Amino acid sequence: MWNGHDAYVETRILSATPMELVRLLYQGCVLAVRDARHHLAEGRIAERSRAITQACEILMELNSALDHQRGGEIAGRLAQLYDYMLRRLLQANSEQSEAPLAEVLGLLGTLGEAWESLQPAKPVALAEKTPVENTWPRNPVEEAYSPQSWSF
C-alpha cells in the first residue's frame, strides 16, 4: 500500500546527496536494530529476525558503496567494522541475545554521530566569473564513498 509517507521517503532518497544517503542508511540501520531489541524483549522471533535482516542489508549496502581506491585505509577500516557488525547481528539472531544488538547500536551511534558532524564545505570561487567547482568529497572519511558507486 502506497501512502504519503512512502512518497516522502522516496523523494527524500532520490534527492539526497551521497552524504545524506549515508546518513539515511545509518538512521535506518539504527531503527532496525532498535526494533530488533524491542522484538527480542517481547519474544517476537519472526519480527526480530526481520529487523536484524533489514539491519544486515543496510550494512551490506554501506559496505558495497565504499570506494576502496579513493577511500584507502578509511574505507578498509569501515569495511572491517561493517563486517564485524554483521557478524554480531547474526550472533544476536542465532543466540537470541541482546548484548550483540546493544554493541552494534553503540557502534552505529558513534558512526552516525561522526557523519552528522561532517559539515559540507562551501566551495569558494577564485574570481567573480570563475565557476564554483564541485568539491565532493571534502575530507578523507567522505572519500571512502564514491557517488558513482551508489546502486539504489
Summarize pLDDT for 18-60 with one digit per residue, the tens: 788 888 899 999 999 999 999 999 999 999 999 999 999 999 9
Question: What is the per-residue pLDDT across 51-108, written as a single tens digit (0 to 9) for each?
Answer: 999 999 999 999 999 999 998 999 999 999 999 999 999 999 999 999 999 999 999 9
d(CA 22, CA 16): 9
Q: How confident is the model at residue 117 (pLDDT cuts 50, 70, 90)?
A: confident
Classify residue 57: in a domain, yes or no: yes
41 and 96 Cβ atoms separated by less than 8 Å: no
The count of structural domains within the chain is 1
Q: What is the 3-state secondary structure (H, E, C) of 50-83?
A: HHHHHHHHHHHHHHHCECHHHHHHHHHHHHHHHH
Q: What is the CATH number of the domain that holds 132?
A: 1.20.120.340
Asked, for residue 78, whether it belongs to a domain, the answer is yes
129 vs 107: which has the higher pLDDT: 107
Q: Which domain holds residue 47?
A: 4-147
Cell of 83: 563486517
In a domain, 152, yes or no: no
Query: Is position 36 within any domain?
Result: yes
Cell of 92: 544476536
* Structural domain contains residue 90: yes
Q: pLDDT band for position 132 (50/70/90)?
A: very low
Does any domain span residue 20? yes
Spatial CA neighbour of 40 closest among 53, 51, 29: 51
